[in-house]
Structure 1
Amino acid sequence: MTEPNSTATTPISSARRLAPFYYAATSALFFAASSAPTPLYRLYQQAFAFSPILITVIFAVYAFALLASLLIVGSISDHLGRRPVIFASILLNMVAMVLFLMARGPDWLIAARIVQGLATGAAASSIGAALVDLDPIKGSITNSLAPLTGMAIGALGTSFLVQFAPAPTLLVYIVTLVLLILQAVLLWLVPETTHRRSGLIASLKPEVAVPQQARRTLLALTPINVAVWALAGFYLSLVPSLVSTTTGSTAPLVGGSVVAALTISGATGVFLLREKSTAMIMKFGIPSMTLGILTVIAGMHVAEVSILGLGTLIAGAGLGATFLGTVRSIMPLVKPDERAGLLSAYYIQSYLAFSLPAILAGFLSKALGFAEAADIYAAAILLLFGWGVLALRTGREKPLSIS
């Protein structure tokens, strides 16, 4: 009597079991696409004859667009459903790939990055919510790992194509476009994870607020958080050029591997430390980033890629840990209905740190050279770490025990 019923529900059950893998893969694809241009910047620079400053501007407009998308449409999937927003994001990212394919100058690249940032912001929020809908615990872990893993795949995969395949500035985006089409088709095979609700127009108004009980902690952590995101921004914009200029290595795969090392080790750090206490995570993260940055600078000055790569792995593990520790330090301090406003404030701080210092590094690179710019950038990050640790140790309300 129950057998037909059971058989009928099997496809739905199977689709629901496969849904987390689909959403994780889609998230990774969006962030892989976002890091794919990084190894191509030198090729674009040679083809279109622009300075390191414009490289960082092309990178930064993506971050600004992503931030705007997160703030304005970050909650839209709560009202329209996850799948329609993800589908629209995929279509928008396809438009970005077409703009990259048609690029005839830096203005095309800027337009493509803006569209890509808007698509990625909308996708990140809706996919992240879908993963948490399916499994709050595993979904949160996946939301931390998928973007970092995707960025590593994008940087490494593009570098491989640049070194070994023809027409890399076209092939990269053709491959990504095909994968996006596949994701768009598969999306309708996985179940919707939420119900539509009213309040769509009201959700478009950004909610930015730092509740009183979280202000001291966020203020104390600000120098550390800025340092973390500034390092990530530097890697994703200028490090391939830095590696080539300072070590003499012209192999694109080398620069891409260094960028990928940062995100891979970051994802590994998040995964391995996910069950540790916040204080322990921060005690690991900050010293690791400090040691890693110093090792990277040493490798740069002795023109040794292996030392530079080792330093990147150490810094990346620290970056992942410090990112995890920062979020864990502030989010539990507020009520559930206050988290959206606090998260928006955190996003604003983080993405401004991700983009603005990188633009400054572009100016420094043009004026002084890549090595000198990297020295100044590293010194600034280390000073921010010192300031942050001092703030945490001397604050009247110690959010963390760092000593």
Structure 2
Amino acid sequence: MSEFDSTAETPISSARRLAPSYYAATSALFLAASSAPTPLYPLYQRAFDFSPVLLTIIFAVYAFSLLAALLIVGSLSDHLGRRPAIFASILLNMVATALFLMAKGPDWLIAARIVQGFATGTAVSSVGAALVDLDPIRGSITNSLAPLAGMAIGALGTSLLIQFAPAPTVLVYIVTLVLLALQAVLLWLMPETTVRRAGLLASLKPQVAVPQQVRRTLLALTPINVAVWALAGFYLSLVPSVVRATTGSTAPLVGGSVVAALTISGAAAVFLLRKKSATTIMRFGIPSMTLGILTVIAGMHAAEVSILALGTLIAGAGFGAAFLGTVRSIMPLAKPDERAGLLSAFYIQSYLAFSVPAILAGFLSKALGYAEAADIYAAAILLLVGWGVLALRASREKPLSVA
């Protein structure tokens, strides 16, 4: 190899070494942008005078839009290339951020969340694929950790800006726009990790199928998976308002920190348990989530933020572990050519559980109050967990042991 060739390859090699960090940061930024509005919801409620029901609808349309993107354009980057798909999602997210920045009412927030959801769904699938292209093992771990870390950064960062900086409903989105613009530029310095292939139009048709050998396992795990995602949906939509109403704390940083605690401890659990069996993971996750929820309710009624935060950390660890255990229980049972359809079905179940119960909680909050709604919601989650434990025990396939 000549000196010229060696010099020419150096920028490419450097870019490839930096690519995993870039894609991890991109994934985290998209999820940070998605959770950034959560601490702002009480401010929007007061400014635009809308009910808890509309608040949860603003939250839920994001999940519906994200799910649509995953199902329709989830494999877009397999045909166009990773970088074009990611670039399009960055531009879409910039449009969503601009809509937030110009919001003059709840209809603007709904529009922004719809665009943001579609952008995030496109990015999650494309960035996730790029990470696995670069390193299948580390990429899979990063795909689990970066989104949870991003959600924590978004909630906590926004809370800090609300607490200590002027014009938080403006500054949050200016910072986000700057970071997105920077990532759009840096993207083209990264190497393409896949080769374009034909079949783009055919890939736009959603493929949803649960293989025969997975159905019993997925059915047994469904109550637990619904409980996991319902818990996350409640935190990312209503918890800042619940904290304010039940503890009397009006500091935005408190509500945002409680939300961040859920995803931080969830990410920590995923990282620490990543090498364990599905059985071990679920044996940790289910009791932790149960204990955490009970502690949260106790802290809420005692009006003690410290107890509420402690319960959130415990529940978050259970949330991360139960999610990891569910995925690890079902995916090995599917053949390679069946996994895309299975993941689509799993996404549908997860994101419906993420959004629909939160809307119901909004109706309960409007009719009964935040504390009473939280009590009923927690009881429903605990019943789902108990149902799931019984279903797993009754399952003849013993899915956790198999997985």
* 2:6 is equivalent to residue 9 of structure 1: no
Amino acid at match of 1:210: V
- Show the counterpart of 2:55: 55
Contact 2:82 2:194 in 1 (8 A): yes
- Show the counterpart of 2:67: 67
Amino acid at match of 1:345: A
TM-score normalised to structure 1 length = 0.99
Name the stretch that deviates more: 238-247 or 392-401. 392-401
1:174 Cα offset (Å): 0.6
* 2:226 is equivalent to residue 226 of structure 1: yes
**Superposed counterparts of 1:8-157, under 5 Å:** 8-157=8-157
**Superposed counterparts of 1:306-325, under 5 Å:** 306-325=306-325
Q: Which SS does the other structure have where 1:400 is aligned?
A: helix
Name the stretch that deviates more: 248-257 or 391-400. 391-400
Contact 1:242 1:370 in 2 (8 A): yes
- Show the counterpart of 1:198: 198
Q: Which SS does the other structure have where 1:93 is aligned?
A: helix
1:86 Cα offset (Å): 0.2
CA distance, structure 2, for counterparts of residue 379 and residue 21 of structure 1:
41
Q: Which SS does the other structure have where 2:399 is aligned?
A: coil
Residues 222-274 of structure 1: per-residue CA shift (max 9 Å, x gap):
00000000000000000000001000000000000000000000000000000
Q: Which SS does the other structure have where 2:400 is aligned?
A: coil
Amino acid at match of 1:125: S
CA distance, structure 1, for counterparts of residue 168 and residue 82 of structure 2:
33
CA distance, structure 2, for counterparts of residue 398 and residue 131 of structure 1:
32
Any gaps of 5 or more consecutive residues in structure 2?
none
Amino acid at match of 2:172: V
CA distance, structure 2, for counterparts of residue 8 and residue 60 of structure 1:
49
**Superposed counterparts of 1:283-362, under 5 Å:** 283-362=283-362
Amino acid at match of 1:122: T
- Show the counterpart of 1:268: 268
Amino acid at match of 1:193: T
CA distance, structure 2, for counterparts of residue 7 and residue 271 of structure 1:
38
1:396 Cα offset (Å): 1.7
* 2:393 is equivalent to residue 393 of structure 1: yes
CA distance, structure 2, for counterparts of residue 95 and residue 14 of structure 1:
31
Amino acid at match of 2:327: V
CA distance, structure 2, for counterparts of residue 399 and residue 390 of structure 1:
13
1:4 Cα offset (Å): 2.5
CA distance, structure 1, for counterparts of residue 101 and residue 383 of structure 2:
41
1:400 Cα offset (Å): 2.1
Contact 1:291 1:311 in 2 (8 A): yes
Residues 313-371 of structure 1: per-residue CA shift (max 9 Å, x gap):
00001100000000000000011010000000000000000000000000000000111
1:7 Cα offset (Å): 1.7
Q: Identity of paired residues, percent?
A: 86
CA distance, structure 2, for counterparts of residue 194 and residue 137 of structure 1:
17
Contact 2:89 2:122 in 1 (8 A): yes
Any gaps of 5 or more consecutive residues in structure 1?
none
Residues 163-205 of structure 1: per-residue CA shift (max 9 Å, x gap):
1111100110010000000000000000000000000000000
Let me know the Cα RMSD of the aligned residues: 0.9
CA distance, structure 2, for counterparts of residue 401 and residue 382 of structure 1:
24
Contact 1:392 1:401 in 2 (8 A): no
1:8 Cα offset (Å): 1.5
Contact 1:298 1:308 in 2 (8 A): yes
CA distance, structure 1, for counterparts of residue 361 and residue 160 of structure 2:
26
CA distance, structure 2, for counterparts of residue 328 and residue 6 of structure 1:
43
Contact 2:266 2:317 in 1 (8 A): yes
1:401 Cα offset (Å): 5.4
Q: Which SS does the other structure have where 2:224 is aligned?
A: helix
CA distance, structure 1, for counterparts of residue 89 and residue 106 of structure 2:
24
Number of residue pairs the alignment of both structures matches: 402
- Show the counterpart of 2:374: 374
Amino acid at match of 1:377: Y
Amino acid at match of 1:342: L
**Superposed counterparts of 1:141-220, under 5 Å:** 141-220=141-220
- Show the counterpart of 1:247: 247
Residues 18-64 of structure 1: per-residue CA shift (max 9 Å, x gap):
00000000000000000000000000000000011111000000000
TM-score normalised to structure 2 length = 0.99
Contact 1:393 1:401 in 2 (8 A): no
Amino acid at match of 2:361: A
